[in-house]
Structure formats: structure tokens, C-alpha cells
Structure 1
Amino acid sequence: MRRVPATLWLFPVPALALYLTFFVLPAVQGVQYAVTDWDGFSPTFSQVGASNFTDIATNDDLFARALENNLKFLLVVVVGQTALSLLLAVLLARRSRGSTLLRALFFLPTILSSVSVAFVWRFVYDPNFGLLNALGFSGSYLGDDATAILWVAVAQVWFHAGQMMIVYIAGLNQIPVSLYEAARTDGATRWQQFRHVTWPMVAPATALVLAYTTIQSFKAFDLVLGLGGNPPRPPLDILSTRIYTTFADSRFGYAAAESIVFMAIIALVTWLQNRSARLAHG
């Protein structure tokens, strides 16, 4: 076996140092602060044990409301973005000048910043002079407490559907043409070809889209602040903005506990989605 020069082991050191400094160490400190009442400024603080987590689970109505909003947001974004991106990919999978132009058009919103997208959709939703109002639709949209978070989810779908479309197009291009030829020979309709060939074969792409979309849904911080204000109203509050508000209120220990719960929720939802996707694709 060829011996690896000792100097090669030095190459990962800078990346490892950055990872330890900016990820591992803050994560460990976050766990330490989560069991305290530290306000972020005082040189001293008290250990409160698991009381922060107990309050989050039993007494924090704002966190519970933010979680409810986030799950609604997640549901709309995951279903809407996955379905729309797959539909666009199926329609634009074939290479042509028209499809290339449309791919670029649908991908364009992805390169915009979240703040820019928020300003665009604030204009669209404006009840007085917004685009929807000009088209003859009327409604308060972001002003309706019952549906405000769902309208933010629509903006999120528009924002990232083109990005997920590219993932699906890559998956569709890996499907052997012979499978479709065999299906047509057996008399399969276009829907049957999609159901029995396309859908099972894009399972890896779907798993990636679901995981990425889930993380996007929980991290839609800039978009929510841009549409809902700083801090956002409770009907527009999601977990990331709730944690941000808690930090801004100088409750660092409590916010650290919220962050840990937040990461556990993301891990659980992502695992459930991946498991469901595997079961759906057989």
C-alpha cells in the first residue's frame, strides 16, 4: 500500500478549524446556555435546569402559535412546490429553444434575494393598489389572521419552484427512454407512463426536493420579516422569527432552548418526510 505523505493530513486542518469554530463550538455553547436564564449581556447567570424546555412545551403560547403557523406554511410549500416543480420539469424536460427560455424564466426568482421577493409580493398583495387588486381580486391577504401565513407560503412556492424544477429535470434525464417505449408498446396512456415509470424513477429527486423544501420552509426568515414586519404579527410568526424575537428581547437562555427544540422538530419532520417518500415510491 502506498504511504500517504504526512503533509497531506494538514490540508483538512483549515476547514476543520472553521467547522469547529463556527459550528461545533456555538452548538455546544447553545446547549450550555439553554439551561440558564442568561440575558446575553450580564457576566453572571443562573442555572435553571430544564425549566426553559418545560415552559416551551407547556406555557409558551407564542411558540405554540409559531409552530402551528410553521406547520401550515410547511404543508402548503411542500405540496405546492413539489407538485409545481415536477409539473414544470415534465413539461420542459425536452430540450428546445422554447423550453430553455422557459426554464430560465421560471428559475429567475431563485436568484433574487428574499428581501427583494418580499417587496415584490407586498406589492402583489397590497389591498389598495396591488397587482391582485388591479386584476379584479379583492381581499386583505396578509391582513387576514386566518390565512395570512398561507399567502406567505404562496410567495415561497413562487420563489423556489424553479430551483426544484432543475432538480427534477436532472432526475428525468436519467430515466432510460426504453422504459417509455416499452410502456407505449404495452398500450400505457400518458398518465400510466407517469404513474408507473416517471414517478418511481424520480424517487431520489423527490427525496432531495422534500428534504430541501422542508429546511427552506423552516428557514423562511427574511421572507416572513419582509412581508410581516419586524417583529411579525403573531399570525405571521414562524419558529425562526419567534426565536429571533426572543433573542432581541435579551432572553438568550430561553432562545437557545427554543433553538434546540427547533432543530429537533426539523430533524423529526425531515425523517418522517423521507420515510413517507420511500413508502410512496414502493
Structure 2
Amino acid sequence: MRDVVQRHGLIATKALGQNFLFDEQLLSRIAAVPGDLKGANVLEVGPGPGGLTRALLRRGANVTAIEMDRRCLPALAELAEAFPGQLKVIEGDAMKIAPAELFDAPWHVVANLPYNVGTALFTGWLSGQDWPPQWRSLTLMFQQEVAERIIAAPGSDAYGRLAVLAQWRSNARIAMRVHRSAFTPPPKVMSAIIHVEPAAMPEGVSARMLERVTEAAFGQRRKMLRQSLKGLPGALDALEALGIDPQRRAETLSVAEFVEIARALTK
């Protein structure tokens, strides 16, 4: 990979949130996290020079890669030639491309996400009323701080809206941690690989309502629920009906309690 980068004169750009991985053993381990990918559809966002892409192709995946840095396109074109029929490269902004338009069958997402758009893409894949989603799994590189927020338990400093959205109808875990020294250039923070698989969706709950409840509750997380939720019609009545003390703060509520509040408001 270092030869590829040097040959094409590629330099990671901070404005695009780029940090390149060259360790092929590490990249192979990341590509193995979702399990058997032979013949499977895989979406990769921000492949850069194609390190992770190569590892996915070697596992037999059919990869659709979205890359907005056109400097990387020649390197990716070389990969497409080396793995005929397995790699499709789309030049564009992943924030503006709907994956459902790219595949006619379920897909996995495996990506070393650009730091500047990673959380927005992740929450987008978790949102929406239709469930189970069309994606089979998400295997994503995040800053370790963000990864900890995704798997956080109630009562911890990291617990917040992201944890509830990730855990209420999916199973999320940290598959591995990645030292900053593995990247070129090294970021200032440590990273981690998050693996997410869909789980059963609780009945009678509007996904949009849950988003509204968590947005209000954690938008003023240091305030009591009676204050943070007072602007959400019916929320304080729902707390009383469910026996949830309105003097509690958002970080003390379990995912199940947030689901119950959203269910009551959905009704």
C-alpha cells in the first residue's frame, strides 16, 4: 500500500478526515469482523487508496466504494482491474447517496469512516421506521471516544443519545481497538472498530418519537427530566404513568425506559 500511495502521490488530507492504514495484517483482521463475505455485497465509504478495499476483495466480497477524493480514483481503478467484477467505484459524497439505490439485495457496510462525517452516516443508517434494515451489519472505524459512546451503559459519562439509538433495536460491540500509530498520518486520538447487527424492534414504538425523546432529554442532560422533557407534549404525563421519577436525569434512564416513554407517546 505504501508503494501505491507513493506511485500516485497521495497524501492524506485533513479536510477530508483522511488517515491511511497500510498494515495488511490489521486490514485483514478488520475485513474478517463481519464474518463470511464471499459473494456478499459490501458498501465501503472513503476507501482512499484502497487498503481495506483490497482486504475485502480478497475475502470474496463484491464491493461498492464511494470516494469523493478523485486523487484516489486511479489507485482504486487498479484494484478493479486486479479483481474483475468485484469492485465498483462511485465518485461522490456518501452523505448524498442512498445505499438502497446501489444494491438490489442486502448489504454489509465496512469502512474506515472519515472522522468528519462518521457519526452522521452512522446515525443515518440506524434511523427510519423500516426494520430490520436492508444492511446486514455495520463494521465501522471510529475515534475510540465515539465508539465508547455507542456501547455505553446508563450512568456512565459516555452514555447518551448515540447509545440509545444504537442499542434499542440492534446489538453493538467494540470488535477491536486500533492504536493511533497504525495510521499515516497518526491521528491525535485512538480508534476502535464497532460492529453492529440488527436486533428485534420493540413493538408499538415510532423511531422518530424515540429520536425526539432522546434529543430533548440529552439536549439538556444536566437538568431533571421534568425540565428537559417539558417541551415535548405528553412527556411528563408519560413519566407519571410509567412510574419514572421526573427528578431523574437522562443519563440514569435505561434504553428500555426510553423505549417505554417513546411507546407511550407514540400511542
Same fold (TM over 0.5): no
Task: Name the TM tier (shorter chain).
Answer: under 0.3
- Higher helix fraction (1 or 2): 1
Question: Which protein shows a greater Rg?
Answer: 1
Q: TM-score, normalised by structure 1?
A: 0.22
Q: TM-score, normalised by structure 2?
A: 0.23
